[in-house]
Chains A and B, each alone.
Chain A
Amino acid sequence: MKVLVLNGNPKQDYPEFDLYLEQLKNFCDEKDIAVELILLREFDLHNCIGCYSCWLKTPGICFHRDGMELLIKKYLAADIVILASPIIMGFVSSLLKCFNDRLILLGHPFLYLKNDRMAHVPRYAHYPQTVLFLDDPKYAESDCFSLIESVYQRSSREFKKMFTTKNNIQEIIDEITHY
């Protein structure tokens, strides 16, 4: 069982969020669960520019060679990926969204019917289970959470569930290791 945590907190001045994920990592270490924690803000990821090179010119490879290659390898090698971000202006950070946009290279342009809906053919045979991990700021209206969840339910492959800093770490780990 391999867990990959992608921390999409863009803010240096918000160490509490990073700390929570550190604790989650330590908890996994104690339980002998292989876990890797990556701080996305340490990469200088370009936003997707919609050029479709990854579909038409260099299949599966992005036009921007900026470290995303490494992240994709780790993503595909993981059993579970925790996409983590504080809620900023009512949604996940632009930093995490940038990573999500660039996952377009995990798909192939061909269309097919998946559960009676239009979808793009997967490029790889296996994808990790993904969960979202958000903070719980005072101003976050309940609306924010359900909005973010419905976006991820529709867009992410193998999306399982949304957690927040209100959830107990042990509960989170117990649950995701049973997927």
Chain B
Amino acid sequence: MKLLIINGSPKLGINNTSILLDKFILGFKENPDNTFQICRMNTKETYQKAVNEFVDADNILIAFPLYTYSMPAGIKLFFESLEHYQKKCHGKKVAFLVQYGFVEATHARPLEKYLAFICKILECEYMGTIIKGGCDGLSRNQIGAKKILRGMYEIGKSFGACGKFDYDQLNHYSAPEVTKKMNRLLVKIMFWAINKFYWERAFKKNGISVKESFAKPYGE
């Protein structure tokens, strides 16, 4: 299979989307018949380039982070640029990868339905969406994220072998759908630790005190 991979992370530099894509590609390439091409899409110029490449390709994987429970504005702009291609994408197969910070899969379910809907109006084949939460900080801590990265490789491998997703594998990878109701005290302690050891450290690195981090520049 020849696969066009569109990375739509809005970030300018290193991004979690590309770290996951690297693993996917490693698995995908296990099949020597497979080739791929990567298109970075995060600026006005590259949206148009991505549209052109999308139109020319047969198999496409579109990857991006979840922004406020849906696609980032830039990905939406890309979809809007495809308005003239509605009903004209027969024969194309499109897959998606959506990753984000919060752990539960449920956060991405409305978006997943939307992505299937987009394929329907373009009249291309919807292959499915890889959904993975808990991906914040991948770029800083790849060792702690071993399982996430390994899983991505495995998905790339089976996709590369069969030319389609194994839905059981995707569901297994996205789990948990919702986290079990944990002891509230335990959760509070966990948040306290994240705030203290992750965020406060990040403030400090930037020369910001906790008090300053609560600045209200635009009102009360």
Number of interface residues of A (CB under 8 A): 52
Q: Hey, what's the 0/1 contact readout for A116-138 against B, CB within 8 Å counting as 1?
A: 10100001111000000000000
Please give me the residue from chain B that is nearest to A150 by CB atom: B110
Please give me the residue from chain A that is nearest to B191 by CB atom: A111
Q: Point out which of B65, B70, B181, B184 has the most chain A C-beta atoms below 10 A from its C-beta.
A: B70
Minimum Cβ distance to chain A for residue B112 (Å): 10
A111 and B195 contact, Cβ closer than 8 Å, known pairs A56-B202, A76-B218, A101-B68: yes
User: Is A59 a contact partner of B80 (Cβ separation < 8 A)?
Assistant: no
User: Is A60 a contact partner of B218 (Cβ separation < 8 A)?
Assistant: yes
Number of interface residues of B (CB under 8 A): 52
Minimum Cβ distance to chain A for residue B8 (Å): 11
A124 and B216 contact, Cβ closer than 8 Å, known pairs A50-B65, A113-B188: yes
Q: Does B82 contact A (CB under 8 A)?
A: yes
User: Is A147 a contact partner of B218 (Cβ separation < 8 A)?
Assistant: no
Instruction: Please provide the chain B residues from 186 to 206 with a CB less than 8 Å away from any CB of chain A in the complex.
Output: 187-188, 191, 194-195, 199, 202-203, 205-206
Q: Does A172 contact B (CB under 8 A)?
A: no
Q: How many A-B residue pairs have CB under 8 A?
A: 144
In the complex, A69→B219 CA distance in Å? 11
In the complex, A113→B183 CA distance in Å? 12
Interface with B: A14-22, A27-35, A83-91, A162-170, which one? Answer: A83-91
A101 and B73 contact, Cβ closer than 8 Å, known pairs A90-B117, A147-B110: yes
Chain B residues with CB under 8 A of A112: 191
Chain A residues with CB under 8 A of B65: 50
Interface with A: B9-17, B28-36, B153-161, which one? Answer: B9-17
User: Is A77 a contact partner of B219 (Cβ separation < 8 A)?
Assistant: yes
In the complex, A97→B10 CA distance in Å? 13
Chain A residues close to B by CB (< 8 Å): 10, 47-51, 55-57, 59-61, 69, 72-73, 76-77, 88-95, 97-98, 100-101, 103-104, 108-113, 116, 118, 123-126, 139, 141, 143-144, 147, 150-151, 154-155
